[in-house]
Structure 1
Amino acid sequence: MDQAAILREKMQHQSSGTCRTIAVVSGKGGVGKSNFTTNFSLTLAEKGKRVLIVDMDLGMGNIHILLGKSAGNSLTNYLQGECSIQAIIHHDEDRLDFISGGSGMTSLLRWSDFMFERLLFAFDELQKNYDFILFDMGAGATDWSLQFMMSVDDIFVISTTEPTSITDAYSMMKYIHTKDTEKDFFLICNRALSSDEGTTTLLRLKTTMQRFLSKEIIELGVIPEDLQVRKAINEQIPYKKRYPNCIAAKSINKIAERYLANDLVSPIEVIGKNPFLSKLKGLFTKGGA
């Protein structure tokens, strides 16, 4: 029996947990998406949640840099059969782990059956050990990344107050909505020069989605421009850890609390099925992996 068949047999005997999957996206680069992912994940961990970050910015991932860690073995190494799933999980805090994306992955839709089976097996295993898995997606959009986003439970959209960032964020949500009208969007305005400016940006996107797509989106909040954030990046320490009382850290605390509120995140019913893996499997089947 080949390795792919062995992994497939193992998966048939495993039950899924109640882990929630989140894709963190932005319409363009330079909006602070990865920095948000890092500090939001750290905030969830501080609140007692078991969190894993998977860096999906293929070939240019920087989560490990923001955490002040070395990349080590990556998702690429695992998919190519060079190491075990345990070997690519790097630990930062007691409840926060991360996986580096590495380089060499070009298209999910061209993977071999062996790599696909290893991917599904990995995510099935990982969901048993974490409450949240956050996928830090690359800036912009490719065919495979947009389809990968269809598989996750929630999508966090990061925008700044710049017109181009707002337009790109709307375009991405519009595309995803046309493919899956039930997908939930959670919106964050980052690096706002003022609270009013950030709130106006969120309202603008919310109103546009309502008017043209009849889609409600959830505003998680505004993170203001903060010089302490830049200092923390240069020091390679998350600002939540380095400057816990800075404005950005306080803002991301509120965002995490809002997301965890019962009226925003409904429990996922997983009785004998796993929505994330089922959708991901469908993606590869349609793509001819």
Structure 2
Amino acid sequence: MIDQAQGLRLKILESQQRSAKTIAVVSGKGGVGKSNFAVNFSLALQNKGRKVLLFDMDIGMGNIHIILGKQPDKTITDFINNPETKIEEIIFTDGDGTSYISAGNGLHNIVEWDDIDIERLLNALSSLVHSYEYIVFDMGAGAAHHTMELLMAVDDIFVVTTPEPTAVTDAYSMMKYIYMKDKEKQFYLICNRAESENEGIDTLNRLKLAMVKFLNKEVYLFGVLPEDRAVRKAVTQQVPLLTSFPQSAISLSICRVLEQYLSGNTTYTSSEKKGFISNLKRILFRRNG
């Protein structure tokens, strides 16, 4: 009996220490399908039995709730504008069981963040990481003051681009900007809307070579998502791809990217790598110091 009780206590302590894997999905420019990937990647994780929180950080222009076909009562704007609002009050769950926080859209939802807002959000996230296995942040295109510290804290950064030269250039600029702030950050590249597998691989290789040549930084080629009419149909229906067209080429490709991620084939792990909570505490300490 004593051994069983001790084992139970150890399991409870272990669960208390467990924290979510945090992923930021970024792009250098808008219109590359970043949000669609973030939503369906999160749904694929959920379908694997993982507890996921999808967090839309594209404040004022967020669209994950549209992709999910939902209209939440509260968004991150409510959390920022009303100090009495708790982070749990803006978390909603879709029909597939994926929890999400909406950024809202429309000019009336755009808010100006100050240091107090950012610190309050970081503190709220410190508590959320013990409630989920994965937190996926759909970041706004480009870089913004209120999102950079979050990017510096996450475990992994997924960079979504398309074969278009402007998208590739902007994706490189985004990675360079993050790299100059934290040279240890690891980037996982995804090419969306590729007309062929070869076009997608060529696009990713160009980005990889640029990072190595100019920044001496290795990045990981994570996957190619094909141009697929199912995307437009799913958005029109306001039902996620994996739900509305699970056997479409792009849905299957997203699932392959997930399998690769979960298998750890290209996941970088450093013995000195700090976790999301440690990074948040470091950022908060720096702010208060």
TM-score when normalising by structure 1: 0.85
Indicate if the aligned counterparts of 2:59 and 2:77 stay in contact, CA closer than 8 A.
Answer: no
Greater shift, 89-98 or 60-69, is seen at: 89-98
Contact 1:154 1:184 in 2 (8 A): yes
Residue 111 (structure 2) aligned to one of 105, 110, 117:
105
- 1:59 equivalent in alignment to 2:60: yes
Shift of 1:93: 4.4
Counterpart for residue 208 of structure 1:
210
SS at match of 1:101: coil
What SS class does the counterpart of residue 40 from structure 2 fall into? helix
Give the helix-richer structure, 1 or 2: 2
Describe how 1:105-254 pairs up with structure 2 within 5 A: 105-107=111-113, 110-112=114-116, 115-116=117-118, 118-254=120-256
Contact in 1 for aligned 2:118/2:146 (Cα 8 Å): no
Q: Distance in 1 between matches of 2:61 and 2:170?
A: 20
- 1:283 CA drift (Å): 4.1
Q: Which moved more, 1:257-266 or 1:146-155?
A: 257-266
Report if aligned partners of 1:16, 1:124 keep a CA contact under 8 Å in 2. no
Counterpart residue number, 2:48: 47
SS of the aligned residue for 1:221 comes to strand
Asked if the contact 2:126–2:280 (Cα under 8 Å) also holds between the matched residues in 1, the reply is no
* Shift in CA distance, 145/121, structure 1 to aligned 2, threshold 3 Å: closer
User: 1:197 and 1:158, CA in 2 relative to 1: closer, same or farther beyond 3 A?
Assistant: same
Q: 5+ unaligned residues in a row in structure 2: which ranges?
A: 1-14
Distance 1:152 1:37 in 2: 15
Asked if the contact 1:74/1:101 (under 8 Å) is kept, the reply is: yes
The amino acid across from 1:73 in the alignment is K
- Any unmatched runs of 5+ in structure 1? 1-13
In the alignment, what sits opposite 1:275? 275
Q: Kindly tell me the number of residue pairs found equivalent between the two proteins.
A: 270
In the superposition, relative to structure 1, how do residues 244 and 94 fare at CA in structure 2: closer, same or farther (>3 Å)?
closer
Q: How far 1:280 moved relative to its partner?
A: 3.4
Task: Give 2:208's aligned amino acid.
Answer: K
Q: Which residue of 1 aligns with 2:29?
A: 28
Aligned to 2:79: 78
* Structure-2 change in CA distance of 1:267 and 1:171 (3 Å): closer
Percent identical residues? 48
RMSD between superposed Cα atoms in Å: 2.5
